[in-house]
Each structure stands twice: as C-alpha cells, then as structure tokens.
A and B are shown apart, each in its own frame.
Chain A
Amino acid sequence: MISFNHVRRVFGKNCVILDDVHFNVEEKSFVTLFGPNGCGKTTLMNMLCGTDHLTAGRIDGAEALQGQIGFVFQDYRRTLLPWRSGADNILLPLQLRGFSADAQRQRLDDLVRRLQPDFDLKQKIYTLSGGQAQMVSLMRALIIQPRLLILDEPFSALDYARTLSFRQLVMDIARDFGLTVLFISHDLEEALYLGDKVVFLTQKPTRVAEILPVPIPRPRQLTLFGSSDFAALKLRALEIFGRCAGDVLPLR
C-alpha cells in the first residue's frame, strides 16, 4: 500500500534527520514505528501527508492516499480548536472538503453509533477530560472514512487506565473499519502489543534498524502481557533496541 523508498530529509545544510529510511506498509496492516524521541517519526508522517517534503527518495502510494489519511496527533489540546464544540471539531475535515450539512450530520451520526462516546459532543473542548478530548481527536480522524489512520503517540498525555482502554479501542477500530494503521510509539510494550510488525528506528540520522514481525494472533487481550510468547518477543525487541540506542541503554 505504502512504500518508503530510501527516504532522506535534511534540514538546513547539514542537519540530516532521516537517512535512507526504507520500509513497506501493507494494506490493512497495523504497523508501529518505534524510535527515540526526536528521531524524525513525526517528520516522516508529515511527508506522507504531504505537509513536509523529502530531500531524497520517494514514498510510493502516498499520492493515491491523499485525502484518505486520518491523523490523530500527540498533543490533542493543541490540535483541537477550543472555540468549537466536540462535534464541530469532528466535522471540521468534512467542512474543509465542502460536505453539505446533511452529509456531515449523517457521517457524524454513523460514527457516534459505531463508537458510542460517553459524553455530550456539544460540549466545548475545554470542558472535556483528556480521554474525552482524545476521543474527539480520534473521531475527527475517522469522520473522513480514511483508508490509512496515522496515530502519533496519541496516548502520551493520558493516564494508564485511559491508555489501556484506548489501545483496545484503536485495535477494534482498525479491525471493524478495515483500516491500515501507522502507529508511532515510544513505548516498546505498546508497539509490540498493537502492531503486526514493529519498525525500529535508530537515533539521528535516523535509519530503519530492523523490522520485527509480531506473529501473535488477534484479537489480543491485556493478558497477553503476561504470556511467555510476549516475553520472548519483548526480549528480542530489547536486543534490537539496545543496538539502536547504543550506549544509552544498560542492557549488558
């Protein structure tokens, strides 16, 4: 579906952020991107969306996806519009595309029926809790009926209980909506738990260190964390991460 081919991004004259990034995202797969903070994961996603440009390389399949990518951002408070209600935030991508009021209402009703948010969408954003605001953010990404859903560390500002329930929700949505998902994470357990494969990125200049398939069947439940399969997979992931992080990680 998408193929990142030797993608390179240089800021200024010499600041190499991404260097020869190369991996594929298959149709209806759940791919997690795992790497240290500031390694250029978000830049990579911006390039996929067309809001940043490549210095070299190409992203095959990106053009065919334009207008069909839903985006859930890390900092939902700073990406939602506080002067709008929850519903108006969700409908914004449709309004930008010139959907009629009836069509907007129909899409929203359909989405509410499927996700059943437990709060009033007429509330203004600043009255919502973190979990509710991130739910609005997720619904805003889904309202366009995307083929690809990108989630950029979406749970980093949520408490642990909310994070666990949202992980489950995202997996359910990916399955029920038949979505391809690119999930950026800096939590190794999360990356393994959610992904069909985990793309490990190195520190800057960022490359793909290794791609680790996750051969654990779905649906996955939280009890998976205690299984020996998951522990073995995590050990393997830690070894890869140790190579990515270099001296930073006291693995030996």
Chain B
Amino acid sequence: MTAIPSTPSRATFLLGFLLLAAAWILVADIGGLVNAILLPPLVDVLKRLGELILNGSLARDLGATMMRWAYGFTLGVTAGTLAGLFLGVMPRIYRIFEGVIEFFRALPGTAIFPLFLILFGIGDASKIALVFLPTFLLMLVNASYGVLHATPERRRALQAFGATPWQVFRHVVVFEALPQIFIGLRLALSLSLIVIVVSEMFIGTEVGIGQRIYDSYLTTAVTTLYAYLLVMGCLGYALNKACMMLERRCVFWVGRA
C-alpha cells in the first residue's frame, strides 16, 4: 500500500488548466488552425455553456443523470461493502464464491446492457442497475480483500485481551479494510460515471447528460457537445477530489504506520 501523494499548490494546479485553455484559444479561437466541427472556439463553448445554465436545461439533465448515478452508486457501495466485509471474515464462503465474483467482474459492463434492458425495461431502473452492478462488484472484491489481507497480529492482540469476534470486527477488521475499501470506492466512482453516461446514450432517456451528448453528436451541435463534456469533466474531477479528501480524512494513518 502506498502513501497518498501530496496535492500540488493551487497555483501549480491552475497553471495546467490555464495552459490547456491557452492552447485551445491559440489553435481554435485565434489561429483557426482546426476545423470548428472538430474543435470549436473556447469562447463559443463557454457561451453555449452559459446558455445551458441560464435556460435551466443543464440543471435538468445534470440532475437526472446524478439522481440515477447516486441511487446506483449508493446502493452498490453499501451492499458491496457489507457483502465484502462479510465474505472477508468468512474466508471459506469467500472461496466458494470467488470464481463467481471474478466471472461477473470479467463481464464488460456494456455487454450486460441488453440483458438489463430485458430485465428492467428502458426506464431509470435499468440505468440504476447498470451503475449498481459494477459498483457492487468492485466494492465487494476490495472490501473482502481488505479484510482477508488485514494484519493478523492486531486481531490476535485483541483476542488476547478477551475481545469477542464482534469487537475484533468493529475495532480492527473494519479499520484494516478501510484503505482497500477506498481504493474500491475510487475505482467504482470512475467506472460508474462512465456507465451512467453510456447507459443514457445507449438506452436513451428524456433528460440526462449522456442523452444530450449523443443528441449533440447526431445534430453536429459541436459547441453543445463540448459544453457537456466540460461539465462531465468538472463533475468527475470534483467527485474524485471529494473522494480523495474523504480518504485522507478517514485513513490518515496509511503510509505512516
């Protein structure tokens, strides 16, 4: 397990974005070096983004996407973590299901789309289920791995103090598994965002970022497409950052102990 790398200074952090924006402006806005269908001017994209914010369509689409994602992600994290902790403390049962878990993990999320369409229909349920499954599996594998590879000496120490199995679980096992649970959480976060956007594109919906991106592609509304990509990039970045902050706060001892 490695230490969480330190964050760059605010100036260093902003410099990267400023350089990217400068390059974009230079190539697309000033130089006109690239066809606007491939890369529209940054100013036009920002203007379009402003319109989407003001007319409320961004909030509507973003809200719908996030609602579906939040349901699937929360359910997946909760169920996957609990199941993983349970299987971790029951290694015999874990070994029975290890092959089954690996089988489902090996299935590409997109390959399950048609099956979930049949099972859950074209409404929100299928999209939520599509987010739930990979999240659940990632959390299950990482939580159980965290428990199975916990330091045995700490458990034995607590047993020597007369701790019950539940006390060993509560005071040691959960904490020992936390770093690995957070690894699962960050992986699940990235994957679930991909899945929710792709599921909206593939299955279709009235409102949702994935649907808007796909519509923009079909109508060659490139500035709108870029505006939504900017939003999704910012959203993914913010969620990942929040997850890292939570990780630093919750597993502060990792890399130090």
| Chain A contact residues, CB within 8 Å of chain B | 46, 49, 51, 66-67, 69, 71, 73, 75, 77-79, 81-83, 92-93, 96-97, 124-127, 144
Contact assessment for A96 and B158 in the assembled complex, using a CB-CB cutoff below 8 Å? yes
Q: Are B256 and A79 in contact (CB under 8 A)?
A: no
Residue numbers in B under 8 Å from A126 (CB-CB): 253, 256-257
Q: Is the CB of A92 within 8 A of B154?
A: no
- Complex: how many Å from CA A63 to CA B251? 38
Interface string of B122-162 (1 = CB under 8 A from A): 00000000000000000000000000000101101111111
Majority DSSP secondary structure for residues of B touching A: helix
A5 to B151, CA, bound (A): 32
Give the complex CA separation of A67 and B158 in angstroms. Answer: 12
Known: A78-B154, A92-B161. A124 touches B253 (CB 8 A): yes
CA distance A97 to B163 in the complex (A): 8
Per-position 1/0 for B157-172, Cβ under 8 A of A = 1111111000100011
Centre residue among B158, B167, B257 by max chain A CB count within 10 A: B257
User: In the bound complex, do residue B162 and residue A97 qualify as a contact, i.e. CB atoms below 8 Å apart?
Assistant: yes
A-B CB contacts (within 8 Å), total count? 57
Would you call A73 and B163 a contact (CB within 8 A)? Answer: no
Shortest CB distance B76–A (Å): 26
Q: How far is the CA of A10 from the CA of B228 in the complex (A)?
A: 67
A97 — nearest CB in chain B belongs to which residue?
Answer: B162
Write out the residue numbers on chain B whose beta carbons fall within 8 Å of the beta carbon of A73. Answer: 153, 157
Asked if A49 meets B160 with Cβ closer than 8 Å, knowing A78-B151, A81-B172, the reply is: yes
Q: Quick check: is B120 within 8 A (CB to CB) of the other chain? A: no
Other A-B pairs, 10, CB within 8 Å; known A51-B156, A83-B175, A83-B253: A69-B160, A71-B157, A78-B154, A82-B256, A83-B251, A92-B161, A124-B252, A125-B257, A126-B253, A144-B161
Given A92-B171, A97-B162, the answer on whether A79 and B253 have CB atoms closer than 8 Å is no
Q: Which chain A residues lie closer than 8 Å to B252 at the CB level?
A: 83, 124
| A144 proximity list for chain B (CB < 8 A) | 161
> Chain B, 49-63, contact with A by CB distance < 8 Å: what is the 0/1 string?
000000000000000
Q: How far does the alpha carbon of A92 sit from the alpha carbon of B171 in the complex, in Å? A: 9
Q: Which of B54-96 contact A (CB under 8 A)?
A: none
User: What are the residues of chain A within 8 A of B163 when measuring CB–CB?
Assistant: 96
**Contact status A81-B171, CB under 8 Å:** yes
B257 — which chain A residues lie within 8 A by C-beta? 77, 82, 125-126
B154: chain A residues at CB < 8 Å are: 78-79, 81
Give the distance in Å from the alpha carbon of A127 to the alpha carbon of B163 in the complex: 26
Chain A residue numbers with a CB within 8 Å of B151 are 78
B153 touches A71 (CB 8 A): no
Given contacts A73-B153, A73-B157, contact A67 B162 (CB under 8 A): yes
Min CB gap A100→B, angstroms: 17
In the complex, what's the smallest C-beta–C-beta distance from A207 to chain B, in angstroms? 25
Residues of B contacting A77 in the complex (Cβ-Cβ under 8 angstroms):
257
In the assembled complex, the Cα of A78 lies from the Cα of B256 at a distance in Å of: 13
What mask results when residues 224 to 257 of chain B are scored 1 for a CB within 8 Å of chain A, else 0? 0000000000000000000000000001110011
A83 to B175, CA, bound (A): 8
The 27 listed contacts between A and B (C-beta, < 8 Å) are: A46-B156, A51-B156, A51-B159, A51-B160, A71-B157, A73-B153, A75-B153, A77-B257, A79-B154, A79-B156, A81-B154, A82-B253, A82-B256, A83-B175, A83-B251, A83-B252, A92-B158, A93-B162, A96-B158, A96-B163, A96-B167, A97-B162, A124-B252, A125-B257, A126-B256, A126-B257, A127-B256
